[in-house]
Amino acid sequence: MLTGQNSTEFNPSLIVRPNWAGESAADRRQDRRYEIQLDLHWKLIYRSRVLESGTGRTIDLSNGGVHYETGRRFPAGLNVELSIAWPAVVGDLAPRKLVVSGKILRSDGGRTAIRKHQHEFRRAGAGPA
């Protein structure tokens, strides 16, 4: 704290804050989310081993992550790999899938959100996932 004639005490009300009144957490996200429902296959991974796998459907996608539903709950902190059926076909290329690996941030009510670590497009039916 400063002392003397020109001293100024800290006043928390003078801090400039973003005006988030009326905005949801979704409005403050860093990456824009795209609502799109696509079929997916998931693999729950721990220490490079597949613990479980199953199917689901995306709710929305962004550059930073994926929100999807499977009808079950997953433990936060584990890694997951999603193989998402991609709807676009370019020219004579075979159908594609988007393979996303990431960490589970939260899971509740059969819906799960992950933070994406990496992604790549593969030919559908090619390679693992």
Cα separation, 17 vs 44, whole angstroms: 39
Give the pLDDT score at 44. Answer: 97
Give the pLDDT score at 29. Answer: 56
Give the pLDDT score at 22. Answer: 47
Average pLDDT over residues 15-37: 61
- Which is higher by pLDDT, 69 or 5? 69
- Which is higher by pLDDT, 109 or 24? 109
What's the pTM value of the predicted model, to 2 decimals?
Answer: 0.73
Mind listing the pLDDT tens digit for each residue in 64-115? 999 999 999 999 999 999 999 998 877 767 788 999 999 999 999 999 999 9
CA torsion 68-113-99-54 (nearest 10°) is -50
Q: Is 56 helix (H, G, I), strand (E, B) or coil?
A: strand
Residues 6+ positions from 113 with CB-CB distance below 8 Å:
65, 66, 67, 104, 105, 106, 107
Give the pLDDT score at 20. Answer: 39
The answer to whether the beta carbons of residues 112 and 70 sit under 8 Å apart is yes
Burial, 122: exposed, middle or buried (Cβ in 10 Å; 0-12, 13-18, 19+)?
middle
Asked if the model's pLDDT at residue 120 lies above 80, the reply is yes
Give the pLDDT score at 15. Answer: 39
Q: Classify residue 73 by its DSSP letter.
A: -
What the chain holds in terms of domains, given with CATH numbers, is 32-123 (2.40.10.220)
